[in-house]
Amino acid sequence: MARVQAGPRRLRPTFEGEARQPYLRIRPEPMSPTIGAEIGGVSLADEIDDQTFAEIRRALLEYKVIFFRDQDITPAQHVAFARRFGELEVHPFLPHRDGHPEVVVFKKDENLGGYENVWHSDVTWRLEPSLGSVLLAREVPPVGGDTLFCDMYAAYDGLDDELRESLDGLRAVHDFTKTFGRLLTPEQLEEKRREYPPAEHPVVRTHPETGRKGLYVNAGFTSHIAGMERAESRRLLDILYRQATVPEYQCRFRWRPLSVAFWDNRAAQHYAASDYYPSRRWMERVTICGDAPR
């Protein structure tokens, strides 16, 4: 197997193609050379006009994750904003807000610590994984609880040429049982496995809107590479997983109450630092349905 170089290679600026057009309604402030931008002057509680909405969508594609501060929005407004981007998911395993099945609730305190501290893209175990997620902070710890995001285009571009070429045509199996399955009884697990069988996706995904290639395996939900010996599959996946840990491919977001992060699950992975126990951290997430990876 080809080796992977230590450190980043071919860091490719995010400003290219359509992204070179000026923004007229919003002013994204980049957080790193490749991923993340904070957008001010937009209220997600208001009805957003079509031109501003189009620029928000373009910023999402360009920066892979965008952030908004001081968004005092209701669950209904949260849902309405996300629904502009497509049909919304109802998560089959996570708790939701009363009256709003699309709003997943993450409440952590002295009784339940954070457990999302693994690099992942949401619900890749679905046959059609999500387009993206809109996460709102209701309450945050006085310090800690940041979320990190990784540009999976950069992670792919940074591989050695030989290794990148060897990934062409490979497919990986994604399975919810690695995470959510541990919370189920054997009977519940059997029922959910029938409803959500393991999904097979390309190891390298071509983004349906940007056309760029990115790594599409993650430590949270990928179980193995299809048709490959398990030991060889594990060695290769370990190399690919490590790409998400390269700081030059990342940005880090420090939450404040009523901050919003909106990330593109097709192009980014995220990691929620679980360094705040026993402080309270209350987040609410709405996820937009996507399509079958290609």
Average pLDDT over residues 48-63: 97
- Residue 112, domain extent: 17-288
Domain membership of residue 184 (yes or no) is yes
Residue in 122, 157, 175, 264 annotated catalytic: 122
Looking only at the bridges linking them, the beta strands covering 37-39 and 65-68 are: parallel
Q: How far apart are CA 155 and CA 162, in angstroms?
A: 15
Domain membership of residue 153 (yes or no) is yes
Confidence of residue 7 (pLDDT cuts 50, 70, 90): low
Report the domain count for the chain.
1
pLDDT at 11: 62
Domain membership of residue 294 (yes or no) is no
pLDDT single digits (tens) 275-287 = 999 999 999 999 9
CATH number at residue 186: 3.60.130.10
Domain membership of residue 267 (yes or no) is yes
Q: Select from 25, 64, 47, 52 the least CA-distant residue to 249.
A: 64
Q: How far apart are CA 125 and CA 134, in angstroms?
A: 19
pLDDT single digits (tens) 141-160 = 999 999 999 999 999 999 99
Q: Is 120 a catalytic residue?
A: yes
Domain membership of residue 27 (yes or no) is yes
Residue 16 has pLDDT above 70, yes or no: no
Q: Is 122 a catalytic residue?
A: yes
Residue in 78, 224, 266, 270 annotated catalytic: 270
Domain membership of residue 127 (yes or no) is yes
pTM surpassing 0.75? yes
Domain membership of residue 2 (yes or no) is no
Per the listing, tokens 């904003």 go with 81
pLDDT at 114: 87
Q: Is 70 a catalytic residue?
A: no
Domain membership of residue 11 (yes or no) is no
Q: Is 201 a catalytic residue?
A: no
pLDDT single digits (tens) 222-271 = 999 999 999 999 999 999 999 999 999 999 999 999 999 999 999 999 99
Residue in 120, 205, 207, 281 annotated catalytic: 120
pLDDT at 179: 85
pLDDT at 183: 78
Residue 2 has pLDDT above 50, yes or no: no
